[in-house]
C-alpha cells in the first residue's frame, strides 16, 4: 500500500509518495502555494478570509486542487494509481490547515489567537472534494500560530532518536515517543525558518514553542527577484577576488534568487563592506573595490547586480535587505523569548536542528553573520531538509494511527508573541546586522 505526505507551506508546497511498508520514499514534488494571490504571508490571507467568505472558499478550493494535482503528478511519475494510495498526512501551520479544511479563521486572526481545535483531524479524500477513498490525517495544532508542520518536524526528529536508542538497547518493543528521547534532545532548539518562523525549545519533557512572523523573504518571497528553490534559481552567491560567482539550480539560465542564496549574498556583501551594519547598501562611490560597478540605481533605490544579460536583470535591492533584516530580527527575538520563558541561557543549548524551504542548504555561519545565531550555536547546528515532510512520512509509516505524533503535540507549551513588550524590545535590538 502507498501513502501521500504533504508539507502545506505558506509559500511552497512539498509532497511525497511513500510505500507504507517500511516508509521508503518513491517520489517527491513541489510547487508554489496558489493562495499567494491573496497575500504573501499568513496575516494577509487571514485578513482576506475574515473579510470575505467567498475568499475563504476560493483559497480552500485553490489549495485542494493544487494538492490533488501534485498527488496525480506523483502517481504518474511512479506508475501507481491514485486508488492505490490509502492514506494521506498533511502538515501545515494553523492558518493553512484551517483554510484547507474551510474552517472559519476569525479565532486565528484576533486575540486570543487560538485554533478551532488542537488535536489531529481525521477525514476522507471525499471530504476534500477528491476522488478515491483514502483516509486523510491533518496534524495537531498546539496553538494559534504553532501548527502541524512544527509537530511533524519535531516528531520526525524525536522518532529518529527513539529508534537509535532502541537499537542500542537491542529492544524489540514497538516504537513510541517517550521520555527516553529527551536524553539526547534536552536543551535542543528546533527551528523552521519559513514564512511563519515556527520554533521550539526542548527542556526536559517540555517543548516551549512559538512563531515569529518572519514573512516569506527566507523562501524567496517578497524579494524583488526572489523565487522558490526551483530550476533557474540562483542557489549560491560567492565573492572572491572582487568577482561574483553564482550557482544555479539545474544549471539553467538564472531566473531569480532563492532565500538561502539571498542570505549568503548578504553575508558576502557584509564581509566585503558593500552593506553597512545598519543594513544600508552603499553607493558605488563609497566602495573602493570593483564591486562598486555592480551598484546601480533601479526603480529609485540602490541595488546590487547579481546577473545581467540582454533579457534578464537579477539583483539584490535595498528593500530586499530590509526584508531579510525584519525576518532575521523576528526569528532571533522569538528564540530569546523562548530561552527566557524556559529559564535557560543560549550557552546551555546543546543542539540546534534547522529546517525550511529556503533552498538546498543554509549554513550556520551565514546565520551568525546576519545575527540569528551566536558563535556557540554555529558548531552545534544540524540542517535537515524537508523537516515537516519527513516527519509526516515517518508518522504514516509508524502504523500507530498517529498516536505517537499526537503524544508529541501534547508536550507543547505555546508562547504567543503578539503584543508582548519583551518580544518588541528584542526585535528592535536585533534589527542591525552584527558589527
Indicate which CATH number applies to the domain containing 103. 3.30.420.480
Residue 171 is predicted with a pLDDT of 52
Count of structural domains, the chain = 3
Do 79 and 8 lie in one domain? The reply is yes
What pLDDT score does 204 carry? 86
**Residue 180 counted as domain residue:** yes
Residues 237 and 222 in one domain: yes
At 164 the pLDDT is: 43
Statement to judge: residues 231 and 250 lie in one domain: yes
> Closest by alpha carbon to 26, among 355, 396, 387, 361?
396
C-alpha angle 254-10-40 in degrees, rounded to nearest 5: 70
Domain assignment present for residue 403? The answer is no
Flag whether 151 is in a domain. Answer: yes
pLDDT (0 to 100) of residue 194: 79
Q: What is the pLDDT of residue 345?
A: 81
The Cα–Cα gap between 370 and 368 comes to 6
Shared domain for 338 and 249, answered yes or no, is no
Regarding whether 246 and 351 lie in a shared domain, the answer is no
Among 260, 289, 318, identify where a domain stops: 318
In this prediction, residue 346 carries a pLDDT of: 76
Residues 209 and 92 in one domain: no
- Please report the DSSP string for 218-260 in residue order: GGTTTSTTB--SSTTEEEEEEEETTEEEEEEGGGPPP-EE-HH
Cell of residue 379, nine digits: 558548531
Residues 293 and 365 placed together within one structural domain of the fold: no
Whole domain around residue 334: which residue ranges?
168-216+323-388+415-429
- Who contacts 12 (Cβ-Cβ below 8 Å, separation ≥6)? 30, 31, 32, 33, 219, 228, 357
pLDDT for residue 359: 59
pLDDT of residue 112: 86
Asked if residue 255 belongs to a domain, the reply is yes
State whether 16 and 128 are in the same domain: yes
- Asked if 211 and 293 sit in the same domain, the reply is no
In this prediction, residue 95 carries a pLDDT of 95
* pLDDT value, residue 41: 87
Question: Alpha carbon 222 to chain centroid distance?
Answer: 15
Q: CA 91 to CA 149: how far, in whole Å?
A: 5
In 215-373, at which residue ranges do the beta strands (DSSP E only) sit?
A: 233-240, 243-248, 256-257, 295-298, 301-308, 313-317, 351-355
> Which parts of the chain register pLDDT below 50?
164-168, 170, 172-182
Amino acid at each position: 500500500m502507498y501513502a501521500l505526505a504533504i508539507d502545506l507551506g505558506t509559500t511552497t508546497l512539498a509532497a511525497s509518495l511513500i510505500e507504507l511498508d517500511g516508509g521508503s520514499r518513491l517520489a517527491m514534488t513541489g510547487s508554489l502555494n496558489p493562495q499567494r494571490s491573496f497575500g504573501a504571508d499568513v496575516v494577509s490571507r487571514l485578513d482576506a478570509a475574515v473579510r470575505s467568505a467567498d475568499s475563504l472558499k476560493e483559497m480552500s478550493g485553490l489549495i485542494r486542487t493544487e494538492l490533488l494535482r501534485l498527488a496525480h503528478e506523483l502517481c504518474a511519475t511512479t506508475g501507481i494509481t491514485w486508488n492505490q494510495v490509502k492514506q494521506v498526512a498533511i502538515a501545515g501551520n494553523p492558518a493553512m490547515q484551517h483554510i484547507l479544511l474551510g474552517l472559519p479563521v476569525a479565532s486565528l486572526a484576533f486575540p486570543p489567537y487560538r485554533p478551532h481545535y488542537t488535536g489531529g483531524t481525521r477525514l476522507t479524500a471525499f471530504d476534500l472534494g477528491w476522488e478515491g477513498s483514502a483516509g486523510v490525517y491533518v496534524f495537531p495544532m498546539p496553538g494559534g500560530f504553532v501548527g502541524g508542520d512544527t509537530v511533524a518536524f519535531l516528531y520526525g526528529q524525536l522518532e529518529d532518536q527513539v529508534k537509535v536508542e532502541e537499537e542500542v538497547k537491542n529492544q524489540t518493543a514497538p516504537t513510541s515517543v517517550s521520555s527516553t528521547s529527551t536524553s539526547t534532545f534536552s536543551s535542543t532548539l528546533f527551528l523552521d525558518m519559513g514564512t511563519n518562523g515556527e520554533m521550539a525549545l526542548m527542556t526536559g519533557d517540555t517543548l516551549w514553542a512559538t512563531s515569529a512572523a518572519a514573512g516569506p523573504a527566507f523562501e524567496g518571497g517578497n524579494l524583488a527577484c526572489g523565487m522558490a528553490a526551483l530550476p533557474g534559481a540562483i542557489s549560491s552567491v560567492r565573492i572572491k577576488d572582487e568577482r561574483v560567482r553564482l550557482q544555479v539550480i539545474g544549471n539553467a539560465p538564472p531566473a531569480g534568487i532563492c532565500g538561502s542564496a539571498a542570505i549568503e549574498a548578504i553575508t558576502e556583501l557584509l564581509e566585503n563592506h558593500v552593506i553597512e551594519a545598519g543594513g544600508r547598501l552603499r553607493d558605488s562611490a563609497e566602495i573602493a573595490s570593483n564591486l562598486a560597478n555592480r551598484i546601480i540605481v533601479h526603480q529609485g533605490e540602490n541595488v546590487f547586480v547579481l546577473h545581467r544579460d540582454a533579457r534578464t536583470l537579477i539583483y539584490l535591492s535595498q528593500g530586499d535587505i530590509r526584508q531579510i533584516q525584519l525576518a532575521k530580527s523576528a526569528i532571533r527575538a522569538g528564540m530569546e523569548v523562548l530561552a527566557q520563558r524556559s529559564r535557560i541561557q543560549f550557552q546551555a543549548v546543546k543542539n540546534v536542528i534547522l529546517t525550511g524551504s529556503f533552498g538546498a542548504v543554509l549554513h550556520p555561519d551565514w546565520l551568525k553573520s546576519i545575527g540569528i545565531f551566536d558563535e556557540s550555536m554555529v558548531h552545534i547546528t544540524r540542517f535537515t531538509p524537508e523537516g515537516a515532510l519527513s516527519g509526516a512520512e515517518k508518522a504514516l509509516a509508524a502504523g500507530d494511527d498517529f498516536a505517537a505524533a499526537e503524544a508529541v503535540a501534547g508536550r507543547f507549551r505555546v508562547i504567543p508573541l503578539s503584543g508582548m513588550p519583551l518580544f518588541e524590545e528584542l526585535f528592535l535590538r536585533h534589527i542591525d546586522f552584527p558589527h
